[in-house]
Structure 1
Amino acid sequence: MHSSAQISSATRLRWPHGAVGNMLLATLAFATMNVFVKQLDRIPAMEIVFFRCLVSGIICGVVIARERLDWKGNNHTILIARGTFGTLALFLFFVTLQHMHLATAVTIQYLSPIFTALIGVFLLREAVPKRQWLFYGLAFAGVFVLKGFDSRVSTFYLLLGIGSALFSGTAYNLVRRLREREAPIVVVLHFQLVGIAAGLVFILFRWQTPSPWEWLSLLMCGILTQVGQICLTKSLQSERIAQVAVLNYLGLLYALLFGVTLFGEHYTLQTVSGISLVITGVLLSVLFGKPRPPAVIEETETAVV
């Protein structure tokens, strides 16, 4: 077994920018996955959840076996709760992706960092500097300028999207609770196991046979999920949760790009204004957010796989 110092040193070599670099990689992986999900409009959302989690779960199992880790973990209640909230958030998000424009669905999902910060104050007792709230507000205002007043957004799917964001924020905080207790890959595995169990129950009653292209898309959803989930877990376990979660907003740029090139969405003055506000809020948060003392950084890095 490697010492904490060795693990910490190796981690810094692989990930020189720590939480920020991991969150950026996670955002790109999830944005690409969203494209595949939206193209699977013939497949029920819960069936996509099942295959997404199945592929990612198999990859997790291989990694855990190779590293000789205990796949069961030690904090079963929190692990199952994290998996449950994550699965609910995922299902609702897939529904909105299939029934709304890509950028609109993703924009609503980006309410999750706000819920993450709010829940983190009560669940984790993490203080958020006053200036940080100002930056959040600026980014949040950008989200509403961008898509918040889109007449194409139905109230029903808007509520589903908000519910997904709320469940995501809860799941992210539970990941943080497991920071020093579980290896990130074990946390990711339990998310997949809950998704597989829930999806299996669904497809027993409603199965839609995928075409060859849809099978490939389902496979890519699982692979991209694995990349995104590991990077996300690493990021949340090595930085203040409220500060790093706001980087999720950068995925909006990917959504707009893919929306224009693949789904025929277009930019407007409202869109450009919203993007500018979101990017400004994100950059200010990253550049001027409250840093952690080195001792805390060293402590959290030892928990990274």
Structure 2
Amino acid sequence: MNRSEAGPLGSDAPTTPAGPGRGLAYAASAYGLWGLLPVFFLALKPMGPVELVAWRIVFSLVFCALLLTVTRRWGAFRVIARHGRTMAIMAVASVLIFCNWQTYVFGTLSGHVVDAALGYFINPIFTVLIGVVLLRESLRVAQWIAVGIAAVAVVVLAVGYGSVPWIALVLATSFGLYGYIKKRVGGTVDALSGLTIESLYLLPVAGVALVIVSTTSGLLIGAPGPWHLALTVLSGVITAVPLLFFAAASRRLPLVTMGLVQFVAPLLQFIVGVVFLHEAMPLERWIGFGLVWVALVVLMIDLAAAAGAARRTPPVLP
């Protein structure tokens, strides 16, 4: 099997043109699983968000260690671990993903699944702003229009909520910055090693959280029955597998395709929140979401046009 045919546990090397079909399947699997996360987390009630995230960290590390053992990749992991600058960057990524996980689980368990979906809808727009602020990139006119529409949407939603939609904004900010940080080490840290390092950094935080919960309200892992314990253990798998699928898809699909498929996750979350959990959607929220979706359409059209122009531009010969 060559690298172009490798599964999600393969290397991060570029692949041959034969990959897009399989890449789309990987992308759909990743975003589909992420989109259904609210259902999984709600099944773990009455466990609270602090305990749930702590166990998620613990079992993510256990699952990653098993994968590294089965795939015989501990050697590559040790090479990364010896690189001080990379480990320092990964420490920052760990803080950001912890904030993201904790906010997302809190939002899900407190009846704000729609807010969480909004966060991931506006994440691409926030990513554009990161390019301006941190990378000093210049925005095209269409990108400025998308950002402006999104800003209006946030104002409308704030009016509709009666307060700033902080869950959505924290999720968009933390995940956008997390993506920026991970891109800085993307060429040297594969998805599995990255999650292993992040889980290792967060293990002490998880330990402290579990001690605090056990001495206050008491640990609820497995309290409703053995199935609850099994689901909690599976939280490590649910965390790692979509990430590995995403890494495999990223190697096989163009940026435009990945940009379009990514909306599967927040769309599924939105459906879960509105249709199955019956979260309130007054007119102001529909207008706000509508504006966000218009902004995303503008952004995606611009991205597709820019990608098409880049393909038509002949390479500059030395």
TM-score under structure 2 normalisation? 0.72
Q: Report the counterpart of residue 113 of structure 2 in structure 1.
A: 102
Q: 1:253, CA displacement in angstroms?
A: 2.0
**Unmatched 5+ stretches in structure 1:** 295-305
Alignment of 1:131 with 2:142, yes or no, is yes
* Conserved 8 A contact 2:14-2:252: no
Deviations 1:176-219 (A, max 9, x none): 11121222221222223233332122101213222234334434
**Unmatched 5+ stretches in structure 2:** 7-12, 312-318
Q: 1:35, CA displacement in angstroms?
A: 2.2
* Conserved 8 A contact 1:46-1:202: yes
Report matched runs for 1:1-305 at 5 Å. Answer: 7-9=13-15, 12-16=17-21, 24-69=28-73, 70-72=76-78, 73=80, 74=83, 75-108=86-119, 110-124=121-135, 126-138=137-149, 147-151=157-161, 158-159=165-166, 161-207=168-214, 208-210=219-221, 211-212=224-225, 213-233=227-247, 248-265=262-279, 273=287, 276-289=290-303, 290-291=306-307
Most deviating of 225-234 and 162-171: 225-234
CA distance in 2, matches of 1:100, 1:136: 28
CA distance in 2, matches of 1:118, 1:164: 15
Cα distance change, pair 218–184 in 1 and its aligned pair in 2 (3 A): same
Name the amino acid aligned to 2:307.
Answer: P
* Conserved 8 A contact 1:25-1:231: yes
CA distance in 2, matches of 1:67, 1:242: 31
Name the amino acid aligned to 2:55.
Answer: F
CA distance in 2, matches of 1:247, 1:141: 25
Name the amino acid aligned to 1:104.
Answer: D
Cα distance change, pair 171–23 in 1 and its aligned pair in 2 (3 A): farther
Q: 1:86, CA displacement in angstroms?
A: 0.9
Deviations 1:30-54 (A, max 9, x none): 2211222234443231221122233
Most deviating of 226-235 and 94-103: 226-235
CA distance in 2, matches of 1:267, 1:159: 17
Q: 1:173, CA displacement in angstroms?
A: 0.4
CA distance in 2, matches of 1:148, 1:17: 41
TM-score under structure 1 normalisation? 0.74
* Conserved 8 A contact 1:54-1:192: yes
**1:209 aligned counterpart, secondary structure:** coil
CA distance in 1, matches of 2:192, 2:138: 28
**2:118 aligned counterpart, secondary structure:** helix
Q: 1:80, CA displacement in angstroms?
A: 1.8
Q: 1:77, CA displacement in angstroms?
A: 0.9
Most deviating of 85-94 and 233-242: 233-242
Q: 1:239, CA displacement in angstroms?
A: 8.4
Q: Report the counterpart of residue 302 of structure 1 in structure 2.
A: none
Larger Rg: 2
* Conserved 8 A contact 1:236-1:245: no
CA distance in 2, matches of 1:148, 1:235: 35
CA distance in 1, matches of 2:184, 2:51: 29
CA distance in 2, matches of 1:121, 1:233: 25
* Conserved 8 A contact 1:24-1:247: yes
Name the amino acid aligned to 1:214.
Answer: H
* Conserved 8 A contact 2:103-2:170: yes
Name the amino acid aligned to 1:291.
Answer: A
Q: 1:91, CA displacement in angstroms?
A: 1.1
CA distance in 2, matches of 1:91, 1:144: 25
Q: Report the counterpart of residue 316 of structure 2 in structure 1.
A: none
Q: Report the counterpart of residue 9 of structure 2 in structure 1.
A: none
Name the amino acid aligned to 1:262.
Answer: F
CA distance in 2, matches of 1:81, 1:240: 28
Q: 1:276, CA displacement in angstroms?
A: 4.7
CA distance in 2, matches of 1:260, 1:228: 24
Give the alignment's Cα RMSD to 1 decimal.
Answer: 3.8
**1:282 aligned counterpart, secondary structure:** helix
Cα distance change, pair 89–265 in 1 and its aligned pair in 2 (3 A): closer
* Conserved 8 A contact 1:117-1:241: no
CA distance in 2, matches of 1:264, 1:250: 20
Q: 1:236, CA displacement in angstroms?
A: 6.5
